[in-house]
Amino acid sequence: MATSSAHPIDDDVRKTILKRLSDAEKEHDVAILHAIESGSRAWGFASPDSDYDVRFIYAHPREWYLSFDVERRRDVIEYPIVDEIDCGGWDIRKALYLFTRTNGALLEWLNSPIVYMQCGSFAERMRELAPRHVDYTALCYHYSHMARGNAREYLFKDKARLKKYFYVLRPLLAIRYIEADHGVPPVEFEKLVDAVAPGEIRPGIASLLALKRETSELGYGDPIPEINNFITSELARHGDAFKGQGRPDLLSSEELRAELNSIFRSSLQPQRS
């Protein structure tokens, strides 16, 4: 399968997103270290009218963190969805802590193929850390939980919500990617298909992709037997293998703590005049 995006970010939309990110920096007196597209556009199966899921990691000036109650200060920036743009981000301390818990969303932000802003070496250094410190069993738990929830709610019925096939297949293929010792799974869905999808489900996936990229909203349709069989067999194969593995804590590693502290300190900006 080709891995090029069927719906690249329009230049005017990109300009609007960059303007909003710049406005967020000024409004909150922060520096955005890493801003990306998340969700279906990054995964490669967006519909023509899919929202833009803009996510970012930011840092306050150095002095902001020199407070006795810094743990109680707000560590997220959120905005309402405007013109189909959903924009929000995490403070660097929150992001670094979530890295120690093998947070699947954070890993996808770090590896998104669509990058809006990049400041310094924060994202590059975090990506270098991941292969050495990610808890892959915990990451499988994250993907298994996602797949089971979507399959149970949307697929195993007389009529399936067709777009939800992607939200089940993608995490299941991510688990197979990890099991094959390939490392952190790629964000792009087609890369997962190319790497680990069985041949018998690839024609059905290709048809669904083509339909979703051309249709504003995939509705309900007849279940796809070969894909349903794959999903059922994968969920049964996993069983309870990942149960209880959702919250690892890697802070006991002095090496990791030292590296994260180094990334944190080097990412902070001086107080603005």
Number of domains in the chain: 2
Q: What is the mean pLDDT of residues 211-227?
A: 80
Asked if residue 123 and residue 45 are part of one domain, the reply reads: yes
Min mean pLDDT across 15-24, 111-120, 248-257 is at: 248-257
Residue 1 lies in a domain: no
Percent of the chain with pLDDT over 90: 69
Domain harbouring 18, CATH code:
3.30.460
Q: pLDDT band at residue 257, thresholds of 50, 70 and 90?
A: very high
Residue 142: domain span: 136-238
Residue count (the chain)? 273
pLDDT at residue 6 above 60? no
pLDDT at residue 166 above 60? yes
Q: pLDDT band at residue 79, thresholds of 50, 70 and 90?
A: very high
pLDDT at residue 2 above 70? no
Residue 4 lies in a domain: no
Q: pLDDT band at residue 214, thresholds of 50, 70 and 90?
A: confident
Supply the mean pLDDT for the chain.
Answer: 89
Asked if residue 176 and residue 217 are part of one domain, the reply reads: yes
Asked if residue 149 and residue 123 are part of one domain, the reply reads: no
Asked if residue 125 and residue 254 are part of one domain, the reply reads: yes
Q: What does each C-alpha distance from 226 to 73, 166, 205 come to in angstroms? A: 50, 14, 10
Asked if residue 20 and residue 108 are part of one domain, the reply reads: yes
Q: pLDDT band at residue 269, thresholds of 50, 70 and 90?
A: confident
Q: What is the mean pLDDT of residues 155-169?
A: 85
Asked if residue 258 and residue 206 are part of one domain, the reply reads: no
pLDDT at residue 220 above 50? yes
Asked if residue 99 and residue 37 are part of one domain, the reply reads: yes
Render pLDDT for 136-148 as a digit per residue (tens, 0 to 9): 988 999 999 999 9
Determine whether 210 is exposed, middle or buried from the number of CB atoms within 10 Å of its CB (0-12, 13-18, 19+): exposed
Q: What is the mean pLDDT of residues 155-163?
A: 81
